[in-house]
Structure 1
Amino acid sequence: MEELMARGLQQQLAAALLDSAGLALGLSVWVAAPQQQQCSDTPRPDASTASAAGLGAAGAGAGQAHFAAALMLDEGTVPLRSFQRFVRRDSSHQFFSGRLAVEPGGWHRYAYLLPAVPRGCRRAVVLLRGRGPQPGFRGGTSSSGGSGPKFASAQLAFVRQADVAEFGAGACMAGWAGKQVTGP
């Protein structure tokens, strides 16, 4: 809301805009991994999933760079020191992409669209994490362990209803919407 007020809207008008039905919010980021890497639309299992499946750490794609994105919306009334302290309410929203592998090939856009911002949301927090290939796994070398995915042009913006259908077009993992965290 502070951003809307800084752009000239009065507090009451900014609150009414945020609470209006159907205000879509889009998160978009360009991602590239080291050594000209490209995206993979298939999420890789994390270490706990790989271990449960009997794949061990190497089965988690440890020789590739990985990234994850998270978006949290809430009332903004309580200081938030970490995503673990997030408490889900009717006036909140939380999304986590999970661990995604990034393979060689250049820059690719990833997008997530929230079709309607929940009433009462006043704060948005975005988290982007990257991790490079780990040494000793699937061709990773000790020199490749320190270079993780690169992020560019991260945007969190309201999306006009006329543009909602096209927002994720051409983006890797346009199906992020199906990965919304559902639970406390």
Structure 2
Amino acid sequence: MTDSDAYLRAWEPDNVIRYPRAKWIREFDAPAGTFPEVDFLPIDMSVVYTAYLEGARFDLYTRINLETGDEGTLALVVVGAVPSDKDDMLFCLDTASGQILLLGVSDGTLELVNSTFKALADFLYQFALFIDADTGGAGRGRRASALRAKLNGIDPKALADRESWWSIALMQLEGAKG
């Protein structure tokens, strides 16, 4: 278990935003264990994640109800976005399961990002450690492969599909030169 000070060091104290962890655990059906152990998230994580949604189509922590036909309604909460497409590619917490899904707003797609909200926080933490230690160069691909192995130990479902969000992000790092 990583303590909150480690997350703050990795994400930097000026680069975090609080979310209502205790309230969400009480209000949502998702099991308490699916939530991060910290009550904050990074604001900006390079090209993989942002919680800075000012001026975007959706605000941080906006609730979105998606009608799924016979299955009923999928209740989501926006917890971030893809930095390059903050209006259309949203990281959402499924309030029933605790999963993090990538919602493609314009085309109505949903993709599993992480099996739990906790796993998303753990992935972002490990990614921050990788960025902080990265010096570029020829060894980046090897270090990215080691990061993939560590992330796979945290949440193998997030990397099971070669076309998933995290798989593609890691492939780019593994193939990066210098």
Same fold (TM over 0.5): no
| Greater RCO (CA < 8 Å, at least 6 residues apart) | 1
Give the TM-score range, shorter chain. Answer: under 0.3
TM-score by length of 1: 0.27
Larger radius of gyration: 1
Task: Choose between structure 1 and 2: higher helix proportion.
Answer: 2
